Structure 1
């Protein structure tokens, strides 16, 4: 059986053919293949090196994702287990590859795109998850001060989620908290994974224990969110745990976690939104997200208001200062009618 590094090397030998197959809406520009994202969307955010010693290496400037062609196959197909990723790569490598590679499936301008819808790739992973209640992921969130997280339908648990180190190529599995990313109508377009220590000691001891998969731009993980009718008031922020901390003390208020500052700036506001509370993170990237989303909200006639934590983020406030102090801080920042409607009496 081929190792992960061997499969990645074999794919890299014909990197352009791999790109034409899995990223068919993109195009070649010099030594790179350029496309919108790993979901095969139109755009210029993702670059795949086609030649030289770094052939097959790719990165997405919008999401921060990067890796080799085996990672690209995994992300493009929405695969969770390494065995499935390896099987997909081997299937591709056994297909006839006439030279030039661009002719393998016909002319690049007329060949139909590969039928791998982004929403189905995301749902494929979400379908094999388990309920959050009583799971290791539920316990992890409780340790972070986040109670009753199992009430949120967007959160699930995977007992053995595939993980691959993007530097060494080593593969393993860990339990994981899985969060569904949805569009404004509630359709799953992506997932966010937080890999956990099997012994219950927080996040897994890996290089990057949090990764997103799928089509994220404009979408978000949603809590207490009505998918039909106007949403007059909403809280939007970056981090999953920060937003879940706010959800604990503001029960019933619609909230979204956009996962990164770039995606926060690009979040699509729901119809009928009059007031937008932006949950701040105390860093430069967080300010970028706040400024970008604020400008877009104002252009749509929505009033943007910033909710500021006392410490680094709202989960730190919840854990170190306690829920009563967090409620008092929020009460001073919310519009009176929102404080009355959503804060505990």
Structure 2
């Protein structure tokens, strides 16, 4: 069993045999040649059952791709238990060894995303679009702050204008030589307005491409009430390009953080709010529910009123609706035409001896 703690510039690997004995530890770079060295190091230790890797969606993506192409089973490792970390301390070697032990114990069953299809394309465009949205907001805030401190005549001219009117007015400013604070303010406002327009065009281009990809991938969901390109895109990104890694509807609900967590004790039987999962997917489901309630969607309202009649608050009823919606979405997402390699068998929950070299 090989555990790997991944970072931007170095990967630390630890190996244990099926009896739990430490075999070796080593660190490698993150370039293509170093990744092949890591694989060769692991193969020299003996037959490999599986790899457990942290951060498979970021720093460990290149290693995951290499191992999959080579035919090895890869499991995604969540961050180590905080209580255990406090007792044992924290360093890269400890984390790599903990990853190997997690694979050995059979407590991991998370299949990493393949990131080689439409979902990854949507994710990339969404990241870029969010950057443009943030920059656009910052640009508008800068314009408004400069208007507040502008000379009186210019401030009176621009005060009270909406975003579109403000940008148009700034674009039409006719500044002369930069020989006064007023001229400098006009120059700055005009350049900021040009930047704002460019960012808006950039956002529109990203939105157009995201919409096309979502329409191509899940047209059935996009036609349903409450689902827009950004909302559905967030769900597709959460699922990934290998939806088969989600073994059940409950797994998808847990992924979105809408499956209540049992918190029973003794004679008390209760569930608490799930604060984990992909929060972007959780927010996407929440937006769909709010739209359907606002539009008086008959099935949604019937379910909502039934939960209210059971004594639940409006907030609790909405949480139940999100779980109900996850069931509807999963039935469509599991049939999407995305890349879906064969799902590996879950790790064994007991020790099985392998022949040694």
Q: Same fold (TM over 0.5)?
A: no
Q: TM-score range by the shorter chain?
A: under 0.3
Larger radius of gyration: 2
Higher RCO (C-alpha under 8 Å, 6+ residues apart): 2
TM-score when scaled to structure 1?
0.25
Greater percentage in strand: 1
Greater percentage in helix: 2
TM-score when scaled to structure 2?
0.25
